[in-house]
Structure 1
Amino acid sequence: MTVSLDELMAALTRELKPEQFKDYCPNGLQVQGRAHIGRLVTGVTACQALIDAAIEQKADAILVHHGYFWRGEDAVLTGIKRRRIKTLMEHDVSLIAYHLPLDAHPELGNNVQLAKILGLNPGSALSRQNNHDMGLVAQLPAPMSGADFAALLAARLQREPLHIAGSEAPIRTVAWCTGAAQGYIEQAVAAGADAYISGEISEPTVHSAREHGIHYFAAGHHATERYGVQALGQLLAQRFDLQHQFIDIDNPV
């Protein structure tokens, strides 16, 4: 089965409501390809390796969390950017990208999907952005040590987290926000969390964790944001009877 690109984009707009977000990049169709889609590849970032792998799988469109044309970047099409877009256009493959709308979606979003992977039951929002929940908070069924929680993250995400043990106290309440949301550690403290999970870490985050007495886990930007785009791809595959494949291009960050 195939679906028209216009129909697919209309469905994505209804589902993700990108017009409600003030984002760092354009959300939606970023590079237009062929008019009908039967094979959809999803991935985290539209790097050259993902594009090449998708073309090898004869994809009609690629759906990602991290696309192109970020705010503040040079607008000229040279170097890496030229090669990526040239490859897409030569093979008539569409590139579709959703950033904050995919983070915040209440069912398909990266934060909700990460909770499912970790077996957490979100109880409240960590913060609000664009009038949407950004990050979540949950109570653990039973207290865990920082070391045991780090082992849980490693097992579920297949990546060893960087653990900043700001406290020796057990973890009862966990807050998280995927990707490069280490700056939300202050909101996690305000929410009464014993631990905060994000994807990345910056130098000030270490001191914040230690001085606030909170466990901080840098679990990987890529590792924490693999799941929303997969859930979205699966939804589209079921709705439009598409062939869907998630391609994971490993990234240690």
Structure 2
Amino acid sequence: MSLIHPTAIVDSKTQIDSSVRIGPFCVIGPEVQIGAGTEIGPHVCVQGRTRIGRDNQIHAYCSLGGIPQDKKYAGEPTELHIGDRNTIREYCTLNLGTAQDAGVTRLGDDNWVMAYVHLAHDCQVGNHTVFANSAQLAGHVHVGDWAVLGGYTGVHQFVQIGAHVMTGISSVVTQDVPPFVLLAGNPGAPHGINAEGLRRRGFDVARIAVLREAYRKLYRQGLSLQQAVAALAELQATHASSREDLAQLLGFIAASKRGIARP
């Protein structure tokens, strides 16, 4: 208990590891669980059925586990799950899920969430992502591993953002963004692949070259989406070393319900 500041209000039913640090003037509700090594800065409010994993750094004035900003919400026992080793900076808001979806809002592991970010109800965020200041996700948005959202990016509800995507500052995302793509503007439009990000994650020159060719077929050759998908399948058949990357791209396109962002 010496790691909990005396001004913090922690409900007696809260399940927290003995190594958790809780700063001044925090409020922690009765259904909250917090794993070992997590540190919570001053003036943080954690409520609802919120599960926080190990070794997270949660900075001042965050609000975690608040009820969804959804008029259909009627008090259902929905949840917020935060994984391990995340950094969540000042003034972020992460809401509970809703009964109309999975019932859980999820933030995975090893994510870097900068100040004023909002994750609305039922968002599903993978691992190793970066959300720059004031990136905002509406409800039901899915974000793949290693995605980077530039500052002030706004994402429409139900949009899917693929793995390794990067968005530019103040991008407005209203359609699904396939894996590996750079997107910028209002409305957001594709501008090549995220080559620098891929290099930093260990993609070699040959692997990136195949993804560049895939991008050209999808966006630069005047093909219909159906024709582009057929061309990508042919590319996959002739590049065994990139088969998984192209399968990820093709699978994303096939599963898209809003349609992918195209010029």
TM class by shorter chain equals: under 0.3
Higher alpha-carbon Rg: 2
TM-score, normalising length: structure 1: 0.26
Higher relative contact order (CA 8 A, sep 6+): 1
Task: Name the structure where helix makes up a greater proportion of residues.
Answer: 1
